[in-house]
Amino acid sequence: MSNETTSSTISELYTEIVAEALFVANEQSIMRNLVKNYTIVGGGKSVEVPIYSAVSASAVAEATDLSNTAVNPSSVTITASEVGIMTTLTDLARNSASRNVAGDIGRLFGEAIAKKIDADLCALFTGFSTQKGGGAGVELTIQDLFEAGTELRTNNAPQTYYGVFHPKQIFNVKKALTNTFAGSANIPDLGNDALRNGFVGQIAGIQIFESSNVSVDGSDDSIGGVFSQDALGLAMMQDLKIESQRDASLRADEIVATAVYGVAELHDSYGVKLTADSLAN
């Protein structure tokens, strides 16, 4: 069997005293808390989300009947599918190591599943019909963010608004914040935060987040998104689950991490995509 965790592959742990493990960090989930969350229960592997159109009230004269307003929602179906990762940990590898190798593997696998959920949600940005910004090869600007926020307000998208961008994509915005008033005593608080911590914060009423789970294409461009929580949905059928199964003949344990979920765009006009250069310089 290939791709096993054996005594030779974890030989770095064969010392009497081992410092705290340094994990190859997978970015923790950002997107999950920024979108609508649903739970699939009661059988089946999908959930149907009703989408209600906006309705308008009008003035009416005294003693005059109101006219009827039809309410006929559309719907979006989110269908769940499985994602998972597995390795086989041999007894010799487990017993030779001075750390809880199974626990370490469980943590790595848990982070990998969280990264996969975030990446799937970020990939939905490409589906937004409205695009702002200069496009491929052009750096993202503060004006682009204001335009995106204006678009959401024009479409009556429910607040709060979120912006999620690749770190190199948002770089130029940070640079602009710190350079606009360079040498002046009037650098705004947002510029000070960007200078001290590299944190962008809130611009144009949009809470800005950086995530390496926003993909970068072969031309060093990324598609970030500015959106309301109601724009995207995550339907969870089974949250992260880590299990082990004994393989006695192999003298090993299989360690498996799985999750069952689906993602979908719910309301197209509640999101804006921003394509921009991700080659920070």
Q: pLDDT for 32-45, tens place per residue?
A: 989 999 999 888 89
Give domain status of residue 173, yes or no.
yes
pTM here is 0.81
Asked whether residue 236 is assigned to any structural domain, the reply reads: yes
Examine residue 244 and state whether it is found in any structural domain, yes or no. yes
The sign of the CA dihedral 29, 34, 40, 41 is positive
pLDDT at 233 over 90: yes
Which of 24-28, 108-112, 158-162 bottoms out in mean pLDDT, i.e. has the lowest?
A: 24-28
**Within-domain flag for 138:** yes
- Asked if the structure places residue 68 within a domain, the reply is no
CATH for 221: 3.90.1690.10
- Domain encompassing residue 158: 4-11+22-51+73-277
Is residue 117 included in any domain, yes or no? yes
- Provide CB contacts within 8 A for 268, sequence distance 6+: 127, 128, 129, 130, 231
For residue 59, being part of any structural domain is answered with no
Residues 6 or more apart whose CB falls under 8 angstroms from that of 26 comprise: 108, 111, 112, 114, 115
Q: What's the distance, Cα to Cα, between the start and end of the chain in Å?
A: 45
Per the structure, how many domains does the chain have?
1
- Residue 163 sits at φ, ψ, to 5 deg, of -125, 125
> Considering the chain, what is the average pLDDT of its residues?
82
Predicted confidence (pLDDT) per residue in 49-101, tens digit: 888 887 788 888 888 888 888 887 889 999 999 999 888 888 888 888 777 77
Residue 160: asked if its preceding bond is cis (omega within 30°), the reply is yes
> Is residue 215 domain-resident?
yes
